[in-house]
Amino acid sequence: MEPVIVHPWNVQEEEALAMQHQLASQVIQTDQMDTVQMVAGVDVAYHPRLDKQFAAVVILDAESLDVVESVVAEDTASFPYIPGLFSFREIPPIIKAFKQLKTTPDLLVCDGQGMAHPRRFGLASHLGVLYDLPTIGCGKTRFIGDAKEPDDPRGAFTPLIDQGEVVGHVLRTQNHTKPVYVSIGHRISLFTACDWVLKLSPRYRLPETTRQADQRVRKALTASLQ
DNA sequence: GCGACAG
DNA sequence: ATCTTGTCGC
């Protein structure tokens, strides 16, 4: 599948910032999704030299959580890692992987933030707008905002607040386990996003989508080292 | 100026 | 993200 929006990636920091400001206005913060049957997960891994990168996209059956399709693409990173401009480093290889996909997902879960971002346009929002897909940001660690520690039971959450605004939820997906940072990517509400993260994390801290994508991308990376 | 800083 | 040894625990 191809993006519905195409824009240059060989940009400098200043232009990338301007693009984020412009594209952020297109993010939809309410549920605009059909019945979710296919859920996608995406992840990127790096060669020890940090210029070679691999992206994996997996498609899971939303009910059984079985993997029904997976693709991997290799690329050379051209944009440096700059906090706040993460998507300009990771999306190019992800676009390569998406081109190989036969299945169109109904929802995409990303390893990183959505609106929990300085300009409310993290990786998940960027991918959502580019592909016009409902997306969720599910990060392993905090990027911006402050929050109290959520209570013990799985499902408990606290608001993640930045500049007086709720930009995400700190959500506990397993009892006595470090919580994850959930935020709106695109075309979904924060509460629906948390419901999906919980549904996709029946056994482990991270959603199965992220785990499966991570597993495949690591395998591709390891194979390339031999 | 200093500290923080998705992956 | 990746480099790294052991270690504690289910």
pLDDT tens digits for range A120-141: 999 999 999 999 999 999 999 9
* Interatomic CA distance for residues A148 and A138, integer angstroms: 18
pLDDT above 90: percentage of residues in chain A: 96
**A97 domain-assigned:** yes
Asked if strand B comes closer than 7 Å to A212 Cβ, the answer is no
* CATH code for the domain in which residue A106 is found: 3.30.2170.10
Which regions of chain A are under pLDDT 70?
none
A26 falls within a domain: no
Q: Which residues form the domain of A118?
A: 34-225
Mean pLDDT of chain A: 96
- Give the integer Cα–Cα distance in Å for A38 and A61: 5
Percent of chain A with pLDDT over 70: 100
CA atoms of A18 and A76, how far apart (whole Å) = 24
pTM score of the predicted model: 0.97
Q: Is the CB of A139 under 7 A from strand B?
A: yes
Is residue A8 in a domain? no
Residues A175 and A8: their CA atoms lie apart, in Å, by 43
Judge whether A29 lies within some domain. no
CA A172-A67-A57 angle, to 5 degrees, is 80
Please check whether residue A201 lies inside any domain of the structure.
yes
Could you tell me the two tokens for A213?
């994508």
A109 located within any domain: yes
SS3 A200: helix
Strand C surroundings (CB within 7 A)? A 44-46, 48, 50, 81, 111, 140, 218, 221
Number of domains comprising chain A: 1
Q: Is residue A130 part of a domain?
A: yes
pLDDT at position A164: 96
> Which residues have a Cβ under 8 Å from the Cβ of A19 and sit 6 or more positions away?
A7, A11
